[in-house]
Structure 1
Amino acid sequence: MGKIIGHFIMPHPPIVVSEVGKGEENQALSTVNACSKVADEIQSLEPDTIIVITPHGPLFRDAIAITDGTYISGNFGNFNAPEVQLDLNINAPLSESIVTYAYGMGVPIVSITEEAADNFDIDYELDHGAMVPLYFINKKYTNYKLVHITYGLLSEVELYRFGIAIKEAVNLSNNKTVIIASGDLSHKVTEAAPYGYSPHGKEFDEKVMKHLENGDVLSIFKMDKNMIECAGECGLRSFHILLGTMDRYKIRGELLSYEAPFGIGYGVMRFDTSEGDREDLLQKISEIRKESLKKIRDNEDEYVRLARETLEHYVKTDNLINIPPYVTKEMLKEERGVFVSLKKDGELRGCIGTIFPAYDNIAEEIIHNAVEAGQRDPRFNPVEEEELEDIIYSVDVLMPAEKASRETLDSKKYGVIVRSGSRSGLLLPDLSGVDTVDEQIEIALRKAEIREDEPYSIERFEVVRHS
């Protein structure tokens, strides 16, 4: 019988690799020392397999990716240290067993072979999310095979369930296994952060670390979604999977280090597990998710409700909805451009809109754009019926645009329209991950296929956001 003998959280900033940092790693010395301490413990455990869960391998919206082969390598060439290379053997039988268990539990997963990587136009190599933790481990211990997993943009329930699948596959193997959840915390902890500052950054880091220390799994899944989105993290999905691998155990986390020297939170943690807690957390996590979605549905205004009911009706009947009686007089009388946005599991699932009104009133605008966003956004496959209960909607009603300059913009208050000849691009205000005017204009130009060195005009507009 196999067993998971160690559970760890490690960050992955390449700068803590001495050959990359060239001295700057000393600004994150607490992280460096904690990662070395994890490596010491893994050396003493002598696992024959290490499973790394990373955000930065082949990332899919609708599936978890697991490397399928016998060998994989990578180096820090993208960070000006190509001489630092890792060459690792893959535990192919365990990887295949995890795939089998995941399929059996209804978790979408894709095997990434070298051929599949070519088909997906991705590199078959180790990513820095895996290499940074393994860099420290390989200094102390190398007698292991690797299972390389990239989380997918799935729901918390599916990720936790996948963790259970990993545990079951390991238990029925002959492997002594260590699991590392690779992930940085908020990328917006201080003003020094390269991704901008958010007051939610420090709040997120403090809460997630405290819940993990206390072994309070359910509180992790109850965390405020807006706070998580504003924090700009890349580790929480790794943690969801890691927690699933400890399902049915009592857990306590030992925080080995936390710091944010570059404005990005780095946390290093080890876990102790013990028998005795047989609580069905998967069911409770499912209930938390359902309650959260119900609360959102119960608080919809007429604009959001119309967008949701329109898409649900269209997906199920292939017909447009008739205007419902709850639609307000304002929605029937006013003509405005409208954008309808869909999100699923915190990620964009579709967004289509009109800058100027194309229909007789706001209600008709919402109806048509809700269908377009859900069925014809070229970036996504059409929304299917089984997804409908997981979709979160927002509706932006556009106010008239006015001429503007870069100096008069505010990415939180104003949306922006750029124009050059017949080409134009629009970006809504106050979008997650768009924190500066320069980012806003850059994205709008890219959407319009306008080069930055071309002449172009700028307009700004405000929106009334219903979400």
Structure 2
Amino acid sequence: MNGVVFAALSPHPPVLIPEIGTEELAYINKTKSSMQKVANQIKKIDPDMIVTISPHGPVFSDAISILSSKELIGDFKNFGRSDIKLKYELEEKFTSKLAVAANSQDIVTARIDKATARKLEVKMELDHGVLVPMYYLEKAGIHKPLVPITIGMLSYEELYTFGKIIQLVAENLDYKVAIIASGDLSHRLTSDAPGGFNPKGEVFDNKLVKNLDNMEFEKIFDLDKSLITQAGECGLRPIMIMLGALDRLDIDGGVLSYEGPFGVGYAVANYQITGKRDEEGLLDKINKKRKEKLLEVRENESEVVKLARQAVEEYIKNRNIIDPPAKIDPELADRAGVFVSIYKNGNLRGCIGTTNPTQANIAREIIKNSLSAAFEDPRFEPVNLNEIDELTYSVDILGEAEIIKNIESLNPNKYGVIVRKGERAGLLLPNLEGVDNVKKQVEIAKRKAGISKEDNDIELMRFTVTRYK
């Protein structure tokens, strides 16, 4: 059988390299043993090439990147061992076919050659996300052509689809391909962890390891967004691409080991392909469930949210700005500041608002800010016709802001905050995913206002909101 024949999840702490880790290697001996087992499995399979998926190469917000030099080189100089070097040939034919196939599916794939690297000011070197697992393959006597992929900050669905394209290209070229998804889990397991401590880190790792071990891949898509943010991980996007490459394949395997003695979760998993399944793909199942859930949301949405959605849909279809209903709901007849948030697959798609009323009533404020959130949020491309059936909305009607003396009067779950200094002001709504403490809430509001994180000569205000979904 050709195509994708093996896939593995590998952590990438440089201390896994014996010459770097020295005595610390003893604390992650289970991980080391599992890495050796993966390398031996790949040697036995004898693939034609290796695809690596790293979160530490050139990472772009809107594209997946592939280092595209005929000779791929990397070393561990950033970790004190420039003498440990690895060198590979690029599998050019596969790389070219993959980039073309992905771009044809509107998944932007950037091939990084030397000229592009200079222009973008990125390094043409294999990063440690590639080098750590490949070190173990080298020690096992495996030296194959490489396709070094770096994740993009795309949706999980797009990354999964990219993985499916890897599988398709491998089959079309009749190559035996082994995939290594390089990524660590939570970086917040202990007080001395790189990302600081967060109790949600352990919760995230336990859930993800269980899902990987039981091959319950659909549940990985259902992981709570807030939990992912609080975990501070770097492995989920590489995992999504790997899972896409396993779509509709019969597989054996699971998690070989998990440990986190340095405050970072290290999981090693392996999956051997035994055949193909003639069934509905995972994304098809997920999309079907999402459509059912979205239909339920539409049936239960409030009149406030319906007004926001209708404003966007009517404008995008007919370029008309709707008027409020003839019989306006009493709660929409007053005046207030309003924020409208738009989501796609649970991810923010646009958010614009006004802290004080600018329109004759709340209904008109909602209409105006809905259009701004859909088409004028500078962080996102304007909403387009093809996606309006996938969008959900929430509307926050702001209460009157009151001045407070210190952050002790704040509660990120109950109050929004306004930070002012002179003409600069930044606002953050309450009860947002990932904003679980007052310090973070104020820091984000400062950043939005262009106020230094260390500057405490500020004016603070708090406000409540009525949130409609």
* TM-score, length basis structure 2: 0.85
CA RMSD of aligned residues (A): 3.3
Q: Which residue type is aligned with residue 324 of structure 2?
A: I
Moved more, 253-262 or 180-189: 180-189
Per-residue deviation, 1:106: 5.0
Q: Deviations over 1:224-247 (max 9, x none)?
A: 556555555443333332222223
Check the 8 A contact 2:31/2:259 in 1, yes or no: yes
SS in 2 for 1:161: helix
User: Structure 1 residues 430, 14: CA separation in 2 closer, same or farther (over 3 Å shift)?
Assistant: farther
Per-residue deviation, 1:217: 3.8
Q: Deviations over 1:28-69 (max 9, x none)?
A: 443333223323333444434211122333334444333333
Match in the other structure for 2:32: 32
Check the 8 A contact 1:403/1:460 in 2, yes or no: yes
Match in the other structure for 2:464: 462
Moved more, 37-46 or 271-280: 37-46
User: Structure 1 residues 248, 447: CA separation in 2 closer, same or farther (over 3 Å shift)?
Assistant: closer
Per-residue deviation, 1:271: 1.0
Match in the other structure for 1:342: 342
Q: Within 5 A, what are the aligned runs for 1:228-377?
A: 228=228, 231-275=231-275, 277-281=277-281, 282-324=283-325, 328-333=329-334, 335-377=335-377
Matched, 1:160 2:123: no
Per-residue deviation, 1:143: 1.2
Q: Within 5 A, what are the aligned runs for 1:28-427?
A: 28-76=28-76, 85-105=85-105, 107-141=107-141, 143-173=143-173, 175-187=175-187, 194=195, 196-199=197-200, 201-223=201-223, 228=228, 231-275=231-275, 277-281=277-281, 282-324=283-325, 328-333=329-334, 335-401=335-401, 402-427=403-428
Q: Which residue type is aligned with residue 442 of structure 2?
A: I
Per-residue deviation, 1:371: 1.4
Q: Which residue type is aligned with residue 133 of structure 2?
A: P
Per-residue deviation, 1:75: 4.7
SS in 2 for 1:377: coil
Q: Deviations over 1:180-210 (max 9, x none)?
A: 12233345556666355254x4444334333
Q: Deviations over 1:399-425 (max 9, x none)?
A: 332223134333343332222211122
Q: Which residue type is aligned with residue 410 of structure 1?
A: N
Q: Which residue type is aligned with residue 464 of structure 1?
A: T
Check the 8 A contact 1:212/1:253 in 2, yes or no: no
SS in 2 for 1:458: strand
Aligned length: 465
Per-residue deviation, 1:7: 0.8
Check the 8 A contact 1:185/1:234 in 2, yes or no: yes
SS in 2 for 1:275: strand
* TM-score, length basis structure 1: 0.86
Matched, 1:443 2:448: no
Check the 8 A contact 1:304/1:395 in 2, yes or no: yes
**Identity value in percent:** 43
Check the 8 A contact 1:336/1:399 in 2, yes or no: yes
SS in 2 for 1:386: helix
Q: Which residue type is aligned with residue 429 of structure 1?
A: P
Q: Deviations over 1:126-148 (max 9, x none)?
A: 34433333344344345122212
SS in 1 for 2:430: coil
Q: Which residue type is aligned with residue 284 of structure 2?
A: Q
Moved more, 183-192 or 362-371: 183-192
Q: Which residue type is aligned with residue 426 of structure 1?
A: L
